[in-house]
Structure 1
């Protein structure tokens, strides 16, 4: 039985993995046709894209009687930020410093605190104590964008510091992130998708898997894998446990992605070109060497 995922979330996936490399714009009819492959009807697609427009992720433009939607600057920045973290194939090296964000937001701006919390978790920060967030990663740009976005410069302090105790880095990480739980999620991903990878690779080699089926599986793979963005803080190798499975999951993702890439892209383009006759693909985009996949894979 085919899984059905949130329509809005699936649209984000299609923009991030396909549309942004084809002029960043798509006819609503093409979007409806693509999402039909996943069990989403026209009404749900139109409702979801309307919500995304109101939230500032996409904007629309009319050509004749056709409506086209494209990512806003905010949407493109979010996609780029996601690409730098969730699709990496190995953990970053660490400079030994911690970034500390402390804020005291007044009660009348309470709603900002909730939004800030979601944004900080998404970026990889961990909560050390009340309104005090830390990360070992250099996220200065993200922090400055958050401060500007919510206009909270007067309520925020940001530090880059070294940790002098009293406990070690391992205890600090354990207090801020549940790496054991995250590792279990990576283990589940590896167990499920390593089997699917072997089966689908064999089907493709025998010509037993349609382009449309490859498109669905590749998109679902990305959709599932990008969920780690919301739980994995992307800690440096020095702060991870020895049995960490994140890099193995990332390598499996890359292998499976590339196996599905050519037929999936062929299907996408066949649908896309019907409603976007003047479409142009990004010259730097290569479906077998996706910009979201770490260069490390290319060296293996």
Structure 2
């Protein structure tokens, strides 16, 4: 089978959707077997998991001559947050306040700045102006986690504020996020996956799909949909454009996922050790 998507993010998907619900630990042999279903070879799985370990997302332990991998605390927190956002049904409602995060990170710690930028985008912050990031969502917990993780409390100032102008909230949103582009991507997702959903629904009804095939399709679905976490800031309903497709995409995703979940889980459990 051709290899689809990069190995590391596929492993993240498997941890988020399966491994963390089965005691959070997996033998490397099982992981290799599962990823083989997506066309990843043993070498790339070992390389990816060792990279994740260096980055502090997973940790390994030896039992006899077998290596087992589990999510670290930051890894678990990231998976919790991701899964809350992936499986949410509707856009959150808004308390009317904005959160502002401003940092001045010295030049010699430039790598920290890049890391922080990636994390802020992932959490749904938008860049208002140089080093000033905003979000309407109550992300205080995530911000504190970031500050601890990178040990940057002396470089960061964090506010909760009301917007007094000079334009509208909508204008502020436009300045920080390209919702049109995100909406277009949701539209593509809906087009592609509503067709797949109908075909698979028919095949399942005819008993024409193996558990292994459901597992692959389910993981790839989550994997594709998970990409929206990196671009969609999960804005509250009040700040979204009228013809927003995010909620329709979420409904399609949930229906499709629930249809595949049971047989997919059966397959996972047959390989899991």
TM-score using structure 2 length: 0.98
Write out aligned runs for 1:251-262 (5 A): 251-262=251-262
Write out aligned runs for 1:111-122 (5 A): 111-122=111-122
Is contact 2:3–2:40 with CA below 8 Å preserved after alignment? no
Cα distance per residue 1:76-95 (max 9 Å; x no partner): 01101112223212100000
Aligned partner of 1:88 in structure 2 is: 88
Q: Does 1:10 align with 2:10?
A: yes
1:167 Cα shift?
Answer: 0.3
Q: Could you tell me which runs of 5 or more consecutive residues in structure 1 were left unpaired when the two chains were aligned.
A: 277-300
CA distance in structure 2 between the partners assigned to 1:64 and 1:155 by the alignment: 45
Cα distance per residue 1:191-226 (max 9 Å; x no partner): 000000000011011011111100000000000001
1:3 Cα shift?
Answer: 5.6
Aligned residues: 273
Aligned partner of 1:162 in structure 2 is: 162
CA distance in structure 2 between the partners assigned to 1:84 and 1:53 by the alignment: 24
Aligned partner of 1:184 in structure 2 is: 184
Is contact 2:97–2:161 with CA below 8 Å preserved after alignment? yes
Cα distance per residue 1:78-133 (max 9 Å; x no partner): 10111222321210000000000111111121111111111100000000000000
Q: Could you tell me which runs of 5 or more consecutive residues in structure 2 were left unpaired when the two chains were aligned.
A: none
CA distance in structure 1 between the partners assigned to 2:97 and 2:207 by the alignment: 52
Is contact 2:34–2:271 with CA below 8 Å preserved after alignment? yes
SS in 2 for 1:203: helix
SS in 1 for 2:251: helix
TM-score using structure 1 length: 0.89
SS in 2 for 1:67: strand
Write out aligned runs for 1:1-300 (5 A): 2=2, 4-272=4-272, 276=273
CA distance in structure 2 between the partners assigned to 1:48 and 1:192 by the alignment: 29
SS in 1 for 2:244: coil
